[in-house]
Structures are given as C-alpha cells and as structure tokens.
C-alpha cells in the first residue's frame, strides 16, 4: 500500500492522515470508557491488599479461615493463601465485568457471560494451583529458618519463573484456547519460510480459536526451544491480507531473534529473586510485623503482609516495565521492516490492527508512559516511514 497524497495550499504533496477523525474518536471513546474500570480494578486490588497486609485484618482472616480447617499451621497457610486469592479475585470481578461490557458495546466481544464466567473460574483454579504449593513451600522454609528463609526462597522463585516460562504454552495456553495446526498452503509455507530466513527454528504454526471470545487481531511466537511455535488468531487469518499476517509474524520473530523471551525470562527470574529478598527484609522489620499482627516470618499470619509488599513493589515497578516493553516492541517493529523490506504493508498492517482492535491511536502521553506496553499506532507508523526514508533507493544501491 502506498500513501495517498493531497496538495497543500502551496502545492506540495503531503500524506493524508492515516486515521479519519471518526476512527480516532472511536478509539479514544473506548479508551475513556475502559479507563475507569481498569484504574478502578488496579486501585481496589492494591488497596485491599495493603489494608489486609498493613493492619491486623489480614492476620485475623488467616487465623479465622485456618480455624475452619482445624487450626493447624498447615491449615492456616493453605486456607489463608486460598482466602487471599479468592478475595483478590472477587474484588477484581466487577471491574473485569465492567470492562467486558464496554468492549462488548464496541463490538470486540463474541463470548457470552457464561463463557466469561467459565474463563474466570479457570483463571481462579490455575492461580490456586500455583499459589497453594508456593505458600506451602514458602512457610516450610520460614519454619526451618525464620531469619534466612529468603535465601533459598529467592533461588526457588527464580527457578519457578523460568520453568513457568517454558511450560506456559504447554500447560496454560490450552486451558483458554484450542489450537489446531494451520492447514498446509501458501500462507503456512510463507510463515515457515520467514522463520527459516530469519534463522529461527519453530516447532509448528498453530491457529488459536480466539474468535469465540473476541474480534481482536493478534499473533505471537511462544515457548522456548522445543516448545516454540508460531500462533495466529483465527480472527487475524480471516480478516487480514496474507502479507499483513506475515508482517505481524515477522514482528513476533523479532522477539525471538533478539532473544526477548529468553531475556524476559532471565530478567523475570532475577526480579522474582529480588522481590523475595525484599520480602525477607520486610518480614524482619518489627514495625511492619507489629502493624500486620504477625509475630515473625514463620507465622502464617505474616502472609498478607508479604502479599502487600509484593503488590506494592509490582505497582511501583510497573511504569519501568512498560518502558522496557515499549523499547522491545519498537525493536521488533524494526526487525519486521528489515526482514520483509515492506514498509507499505507494515503501515497497512498497523492501520488494520488499530482499527479492528479499536485502539486509541494517539493516547495522552502520561497514560502511555504509565500503562502502555506498546508504542501507539501513530508512533509505529511514523517509525516505519522514517525507516523507509532512511533506506537506500534502488538507484543508490547500483554501483
């Protein structure tokens, strides 16, 4: 696709806008309608966690639910962890429902409320399956060494983070989506050829049945090593041109080429270890323990305090993580341009993604800095045009 041009008053051609005022207004309206629900959910979840962790309320909750199951230390650990997870999920539920209603009004939801509820229960079950063994292991360590428990716990957190990164596409993704191999044909061959030309080994090309939940478009490359595969939403395949699908996948291959998944896993593992170390420091602070109603780190009633500190650290580090993510996504965009040499289709692909996903193509800068994991559509398109302008023309390549 080439940019259309219109004459300026001085007679010089300039590109016409990539998005009409109506399209910009639609994306802006969705963002404004969703923002109260998104911010409300974050603030409510953090506030609940802080109240439970920094007051005796959390300690009382752990004691009460533990007593329902016999009052033993193990009962307090497991029942307390389950209660914290359940309360957190219940607090988020109305905000998730509100955001879903907004997205449904904009035509982005194809799933009914029953399916949404089933997905919420699946998410809860997965969270409990992870949280309960982690809590049990954590308090087994604190029981053995109330002062230095965080040393082995930090190593275990790093290993668990790395393992989950490897196992996620095999164990978690299939819980929410069905994946089928892409039918043999020109597009599958083009995607595999793109990966081969990029020097990236992939196990398969799969199609996710995203259309039973949403009309949004996406594709990604998931997994490490033997679990790596290209995954395309069926909505993307039914809506976008084959060349646009290739551009989306080329972007995702850029993450693999630059080892973004591996780097992210390593950084996540290091971050998990650092968080556990900071939790160890917090659990030794008498003022915090006194405020929370716990005696020491080995006391299961300290669990809400640890959860509160972890949540606060996550909230504070959020903007930094978003900034890193935007830089990584920008690099992947550049990789897609270099791999395909097709800025026109890249721009067409960005327009299609933005319009179909009803994105705010030019959001307020403060929101972008605080919450955006990807550059805005206008920034990505401008970067593609800048790349095209820097690329040598065919005549310049002739020697």
Cα dihedral across residues 307, 308, 312, 318: positive or negative: positive
Q: What is the phi/psi pair of residue 345, to 5°?
A: -70, -30
Q: What is the phi/psi pair of residue 85, to 5°?
A: -65, -45
Q: Look at residues 149, 125, 151 and name the one whose alpha carbon lies nearest to residue 138.
A: 149
Encoded tokens for 377: 């559509």
- Alpha-carbon distance values, 18 to 100, 115, 351 (Å): 28, 36, 7
Q: Look at residues 279, 280, 303, 281 and name the one whose alpha carbon lies nearest to residue 53.
A: 303
d(CA 399, CA 395): 9
CA 332 to chain centre: 16
Q: Look at residues 212, 255, 250 and name the one whose alpha carbon lies nearest to residue 234.
A: 212
Residue 109 is given by DSSP the state B
Q: Look at residues 237, 227, 222 and name the one whose alpha carbon lies nearest to residue 182.
A: 237
- In terms of DSSP H, where are the helices of the chain? 21-54, 56-68, 73-105, 113-144, 150-171, 173-176, 186-197, 234-239, 242-257, 260-283, 286-292, 303-340, 343-356, 365-371, 377-390, 394-397
Encoded tokens for 272: 């998990």
Residue 76: is it exposed, middle or buried by C-beta count within 10 angstroms (0-12/13-18/19+)?
buried
DSSP string, 140-198: HHHHH-TTTTHHHHHHHHHHHHHHHHHHHHHHTHHHH--EEEPPSSHHHHHHHHHHHHT
Q: Look at residues 225, 221, 217 and name the one whose alpha carbon lies nearest to residue 192.
A: 221
Active site residue 252: yes
Q: Please identify which of the residues 173, 246, 252, 368 carries the catalytic annotation.
A: 252
d(CA 129, CA 8): 62
* Cβ(148)–Cβ(297) below 8 Å: no
Catalytic residue numbers, as ranges:
252
């Amino acid at each position: 696709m080439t940019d259309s041009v219109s004459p300026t008053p001085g007679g010089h051609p300039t590109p016409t806008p990539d998005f009409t005022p109506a399209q910009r207004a639609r994306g802006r309206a969705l963002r404004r309608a969703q923002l109260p629900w998104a911010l409300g959910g974050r603030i409510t979840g953090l506030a609940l966690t802080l109240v439970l962790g920094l007051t005796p309320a959390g300690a009382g909750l752990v004691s009460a639910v533990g007593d329902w199951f016999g009052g033993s230390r193990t009962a307090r650990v497991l029942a307390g962890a389950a209660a914290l997870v359940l309360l957190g999920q219940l607090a988020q539920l109305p905000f998730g429902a509100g955001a879903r209603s907004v997205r449904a009004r904009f035509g982005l939801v194809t799933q009914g409320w029953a399916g949404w509820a089933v997905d919420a229960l699946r998410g809860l079950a997965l969270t409990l399956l992870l949280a309960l063994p982690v809590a049990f292991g954590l308090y087994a360590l604190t029981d053995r060494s109330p002062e230095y428990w965080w040393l082995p716990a930090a190593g275990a957190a790093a290993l668990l983070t790395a393992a989950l990164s490897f196992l996620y596409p095999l164990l978690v993704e299939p819980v929410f989506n069905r994946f089928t191999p892409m039918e043999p044909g020109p597009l599958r061959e083009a995607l595999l050829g793109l990966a081969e030309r990029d020097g990236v080994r992939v196990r398969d090309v799969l199609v996710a049945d995203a259309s039973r939940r949403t009309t949004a478009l996406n594709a990604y490359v998931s997994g490490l090593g033997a679990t790596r595969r290209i995954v395309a939403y069926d909505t993307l395949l039914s809506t976008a041109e084959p060349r646009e699908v290739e551009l989306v996948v080329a972007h995702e291959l850029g993450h693999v080429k630059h080892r973004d998944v591996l780097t992210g896993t390593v950084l996540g593992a290091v971050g998990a270890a650092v968080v556990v170390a900071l939790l160890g420091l917090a659990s030794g602070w008498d003022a915090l323990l006194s405020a929370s109603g716990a005696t020491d780190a080995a006391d299961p009633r300290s669990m809400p305090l640890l959860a509160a500190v972890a949540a606060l650290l996550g909230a504070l580090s959020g903007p930094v993580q978003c900034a890193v993510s935007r830089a990584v996504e920008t690099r992947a965009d550049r990789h897609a341009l270099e791999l395909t040499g097709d800025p026109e289709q890249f721009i067409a692909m960005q327009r299609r993604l933005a319009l179909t996903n009803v994105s705010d193509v030019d959001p307020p800068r403060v929101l972008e800095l605080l919450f955006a994991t990807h550059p805005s559509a206008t920034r990505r398109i401008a970067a593609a045009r800048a790349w095209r302008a820097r690329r040598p023309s065919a005549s310049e390549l002739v020697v």
